[in-house]
Amino acid sequence: MNKYILKNNLPSFIAAIVLVILIILIVRSYNTYQDDKSQTEILNNDIQQLDARMKISKANKELGGNKINEYNRLLNQLIPESEDFFSIIYAFEQIAKKTGFNVTNYTIKLSSSTKEKYALTVQGTGDMNSFLTFLKKYHFGSGRLITNESIDFLPNTGVRTVILSLNFYNKKTSLGKESINAILPADVRLMDQIKDKVSVNFVAPSSEDVSNYTTKDNPF
């Protein structure tokens, strides 16, 4: 009886086995296709990034290698990779000397400082002309990128005394696969405008410069 049933249903059993095998093959083929598709997308992205870098490199050559190097040095000067208190003091003293703004006190704001931002309060004196000149030039005039969060005037001090809450910036840069943008003429014009505002030479302060710095109130 069993042999009879097996004989009559043999074609069905064979068809079922073939169907299972086909399903397995289809699933494996689909998985292989998906893997190949994923790898192809990764390769296409890499090719697009390389193509973008080549175009930027070509644009850089058209702008002139020396000019791009100058921009890079400028950006590294404005936003260095590391920070220390005395380099900040040196940078700020440069703009103070040029504007006639007399700094009398520095205070580090540890609670507002981060790895990429050094916050401090600066107190100084000067007449209205020197202070207005300082406000026009402090963003880039010291050779560093400086932003101001607040300005306070102290009353009844005999001279105009100002307290500024300032931020100095630094950022560690690293090369990766992130997308990069082509340099546009507008970018070049902006960098030229910033470069015209930066009057400090691309030279780090020497130990002699730091030792000659007139000590203000101890910020620590």
- Give residue-wise pLDDT tens across range 160-213: 788 888 888 777 655 455 555 555 666 666 666 656 655 444 344 444 444 443
| Residues 150-158, mean pLDDT to the nearest whole number | 74
Report how far residue 78's alpha carbon sits from residue 220's, in angstroms, rounded to the nearest whole number: 25
- Closest-CA residue to 168 (of 121, 102, 218): 121
> Partners of 130 in the beta sheet?
none
> Partners of 121 in the beta sheet?
107, 165
- Closest-CA residue to 117 (of 61, 169, 182, 72): 169
pLDDT score, position 203: 42
- Give residue-wise pLDDT tens across range 66-102: 666 666 666 665 566 666 667 777 777 878 888 888 8
Residue 2 has pLDDT above 60, yes or no: no
Report how far residue 72's alpha carbon sits from residue 183's, in angstroms, rounded to the nearest whole number: 13
pLDDT score, position 35: 81
Average pLDDT of the chain to the nearest whole number? 69
What percent of the chain has a predicted confidence (pLDDT) above 70? 54
- Closest-CA residue to 165 (of 122, 220, 112): 122
| Residues 113-117, mean pLDDT to the nearest whole number | 78
Residue 26 has pLDDT above 80, yes or no: yes
What percent of the chain has a predicted confidence (pLDDT) above 90? 0
Provide the CATH number for the domain formed by 81-171+181-211 in this structure: 3.30.70
Report how far residue 77's alpha carbon sits from residue 201's, in angstroms, rounded to the nearest whole number: 9
